[in-house]
């Protein structure tokens, strides 16, 4: 196996969508950066890489056997073995993963640019993929709490988080089936359509609001999100947390 050493990782846990595993330029000062003293590089085909990046399904048994106890975490002066961890790459993208002892990639991290380039150099000499997707899996379905990648393209980490918060509020509104409330929020979004909105059923009003808010992101989206979370402690806490941590400090010195 080929190895990389002193690898900086910023673990994102339980993320099934790759867009929530932030690129290096979006890492924040409060993130828990770790250093892997040694980690194997695993060359996989593009389908297996995409599944690993964008899902939480079992990794191939042959891959798990090869990487078992091959990764070490550096902590002070100690080297702590990690049961199943590796850097997977298809030669175009790279991702560090840790199963935390299970068979699925529970923790995922992007790499800093310099080490990502080293990964690509490492697999250039490989003529074949080490691992391929063993069997086809069902196509992943997206929903309001797991948005499709295309509606997240171009958004910053802060914008993605606020958009997901907005979708959580919308999902809660859907459960209440309060027609007047959903009409109110749709009117907030489309004030000039007040008269026609008053005639809409709950279902039509909710679908119209969802269709409008799920597209893109703008100051208007952020404004309505701020208003919709007001008075709801859990959502307000998430809003404040994002507000406090959005001014991040990047790790430029290790570029």
Residue 138 is predicted with a pLDDT of 65
Count of Cβ atoms closer than 10 Å to residue 55 Cβ: 15
**Is pLDDT of 146 > 90?**
yes
The stretch 81-96 carries a mean pLDDT of 96
Residue 50 is predicted with a pLDDT of 94
For all residues of the chain together, what is the average pLDDT? 91
**Which burial class, exposed, middle or buried, applies to 239 when counting CB atoms under 10 A from its CB (0-12, 13-18, 19+)?**
buried
190-234 per-position pLDDT tens digit: 999 999 999 999 999 999 999 999 988 999 999 999 999 999 999
Greater pLDDT, 240 or 135: 240
| Residues 248, 25, 35: CA angle, nearest 5 degrees | 90
**Is pLDDT of 252 > 70?**
no
Residue with tokens 């980490």: 157
Residue 246 is predicted with a pLDDT of 61
Give the Cα separation of 158 and 156 in Å (integer).
Answer: 5
Q: How does residue 93 score in pLDDT terms, banded at 50, 70 and 90?
A: very high
**Is pLDDT of 135 > 80?**
no
Question: Buried (b) or exposed (e) across 22-49, using 16+ Cβ within 10 A?
Answer: bebebbbeebebbebbbbbbbbbbeebb
**Which burial class, exposed, middle or buried, applies to 231 when counting CB atoms under 10 A from its CB (0-12, 13-18, 19+)?**
exposed
**Is pLDDT of 125 > 50?**
yes
Residue pair 85/71 in contact (Cβ under 8 Å)? The answer is yes
The stretch 31-48 carries a mean pLDDT of 94
SS3 7: strand
SS3 70: strand
Percent pLDDT > 70 in the chain is 95
Q: What is the pTM of this model?
A: 0.89
Could you tell me where the DSSP H helices lie in the chain?
46-54, 61-67, 113-123, 157-176, 179-189, 194-197, 202-213, 219-229, 233-245
Count of Cβ atoms closer than 10 Å to residue 138 Cβ: 6
150-185 per-position pLDDT tens digit: 999 999 999 999 999 999 999 999 999 999 999 999
Q: How does residue 134 score in pLDDT terms, banded at 50, 70 and 90?
A: confident
Residue pair 84/98 in contact (Cβ under 8 Å)? The answer is yes
Region at 182 (left for phi over 0; alpha for psi -120 to 50; beta for the rest) = alpha
**What φ, ψ does residue 38 adopt, rounded to 5°?**
-155, 135
58-82 per-position pLDDT tens digit: 999 999 999 999 999 988 888 999 9
Percent pLDDT > 90 in the chain is 82
The stretch 100-116 carries a mean pLDDT of 97
**Is pLDDT of 11 > 60?**
yes
């Amino acid at each position: 196996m080929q190895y990389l050493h002193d690898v900086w990782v910023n673990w994102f846990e339980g993320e099934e969508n790759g867009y929530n595993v932030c690129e290096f330029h979006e890492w924040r000062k409060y993130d828990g950066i770790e250093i892997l003293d040694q980690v194997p590089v695993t060359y996989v085909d593009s389908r297996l890489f995409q599944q690993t990046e964008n899902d939480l399904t079992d990794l191939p048994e042959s891959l798990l056997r090869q990487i078992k106890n091959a990764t070490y975490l550096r902590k002070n002066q100690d080297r702590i073995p990690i049961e199943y961890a590796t850097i997977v790459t298809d030669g175009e993208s790279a991702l560090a993963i840790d199963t935390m002892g299970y068979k699925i990639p529970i923790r995922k991290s992007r790499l800093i640019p310099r080490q990502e380039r080293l990964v690509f150099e490492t697999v250039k000499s490989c003529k074949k993929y080490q691992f391929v997707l063993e069997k086809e899996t069902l196509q992943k379905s997206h929903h309001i709490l797991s948005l499709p990648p295309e509606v997240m393209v171009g958004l910053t980490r802060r914008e993605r988080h606020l958009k997901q918060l907005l979708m959580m509020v919308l999902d809660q509104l859907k459960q209440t089936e309060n027609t007047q409330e959903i009409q109110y929020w749709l009117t907030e979004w489309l004030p000039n359509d007040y008269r026609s909105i008053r005639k809409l059923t709950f279902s039509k009003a909710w679908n119209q609001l969802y269709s409008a808010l799920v597209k893109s992101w703008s100051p208007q989206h952020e404004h309505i999100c701020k208003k919709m979370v007001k008075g709801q402690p859990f959502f307000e806490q998430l809003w404040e947390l994002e507000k406090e941590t959005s001014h991040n400090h990047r790790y430029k010195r290790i570029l």
